[in-house]
Amino acid sequence: MLAELEKLQNEALAAIPLADSDQALEALHIEYLGRKGRLRKIMGELASLPADQKPAAGRLANQVKQRIQSALAERTNERGRTALTPAPPLDITVPGTGRKPGTIHPITQANDELVEVFARLGFETAHGPEIEDEYHNFEALNMPPDHPSRDSFDTFYIGGPGEDSGLLLRSHTSPVQVRVMETQSPPIRIVVPVKVFRPDTVDASHFPMFHQLEGLYVEEGASFADLKAVLGMAMQATFGGFDQHIHTRFRLSFFPFTEPSAEVDVSCPFCSGGGCSVCGQDGWIEILGAGMVDPEVFRHVGYDPERYTGFAFGVGIDRIAMLKLGISDIRLFYENDARFLAQF
């Protein structure tokens, strides 16, 4: 009987700490200590023991009962404490799942730098519509219908086959010159950094959409010397910084909306004019088109060409960004590959 009591105690003390609900504890209580429980059953046999064994067995049975009772109480207590124990305090020093900040697109960077350079020279920023009419894109810029000079600027027309809406995606920034002069009188000093469109075949240096920055300066007495001075300073600021002198070279050229017209080169900032792979061993890099505003353009906007003179220029922003950042393929700008963009 003593052995039976001990076995009962061992089983109870093993089972109680594993009870994980009030119902489980209640069930153990009934199983071991209940009126029809296992302890009562053993104690029922006490009466049939020989008299000399009764006291020891009775004492042990009481001990077992107490131990099971206190084990049940302890487990009940413990479960109560667990339920009430507060969660560990929030550790606000644990690093979060941060998001990497994006970067400014290289075209936007080059754009902002150019705008800033010209702002320091007194030029304001102007804008115009991406969908232009033929008048502003061509006629007002001295490119009459059927004139061969239109060919190099011909672009995407709006409308179905055979339909002539007279609208197109602007093929250069120059129409904004006309729009600004239509609404403002001289003096005018503006730059227009915007998107333009041409049906160019895509390759490493061509894309059907790209960016230009147009400049226009109109004032009484404005001269080619002013043009050279402004572009010289702007190119120095864009490519030279403080420690390298950038030379500009003006080559005679033709644009319908300027007379005389020039193509402007800068001394190669990578080899200081000595010749390298970027400048094709030439020492010069062609950067922009420029010239004195053609009197015909002034007539279209109602300015008196006898009184006002002015200069204009157009520069490719994508090309400037490629040169400054050492990028050899224009397509990279428009693929939205974060691995490329994050480098700048």
Contact residues: ligand DAH, CB under 6 A: 172, 174, 214, 255, 258, 289-291, 312-314
Q: Which residues pair with 253 in a beta bridge?
A: 261
Beta carbon of residue 119, minimum distance to ligand DAH (angstroms, whole number): 18
Cα–Cα distance measured from residue 216 to residue 123, given in angstroms and rounded to the nearest whole number: 9
Determine the 3-state secondary structure of 99 from DSSP.
Answer: coil
CA dihedral 44, 49, 51, 56 (to 10 degrees): -70
Beta carbon of residue 258, minimum distance to ligand DAH (angstroms, whole number): 4
Instruction: Please return the burial class of 190, using the count of CB atoms within 10 Å of its CB with bins 0-12, 13-18 and 19+.
Output: buried
Indicate the residue among 134 and 214 with the shorter CB distance to ligand DAH: 214
Q: List the structure tokens of 259.
A: 């007379």
Q: List the structure tokens of 325.
A: 């950042």
| 260: preceding bond cis by omega (within 30 degrees) | yes
Indicate the residue among 71 and 216 with the shorter CB distance to ligand DAH: 216
Indicate the residue among 43 and 214 with the shorter CB distance to ligand DAH: 214
Rounded to a whole number, what is the largest CA-CA distance in the chain?
Answer: 142
Indicate the residue among 136 and 172 with the shorter CB distance to ligand DAH: 172
Beta carbon of residue 150, minimum distance to ligand DAH (angstroms, whole number): 12
Beta carbon of residue 224, minimum distance to ligand DAH (angstroms, whole number): 12
Q: Using the structure block, give the residue that is written with the tokens 């008196």.
A: 304
Indicate the residue among 34 and 232 with the shorter CB distance to ligand DAH: 232
Indicate the residue among 174 and 267 with the shorter CB distance to ligand DAH: 174
- Report which residue type is found at 202: V
Beta carbon of residue 325, minimum distance to ligand DAH (angstroms, whole number): 22
From residue 98, alpha-carbon distances to 40, 45, 94, 95, 220 in Å are 65, 72, 12, 8, 57
Beta carbon of residue 305, minimum distance to ligand DAH (angstroms, whole number): 16
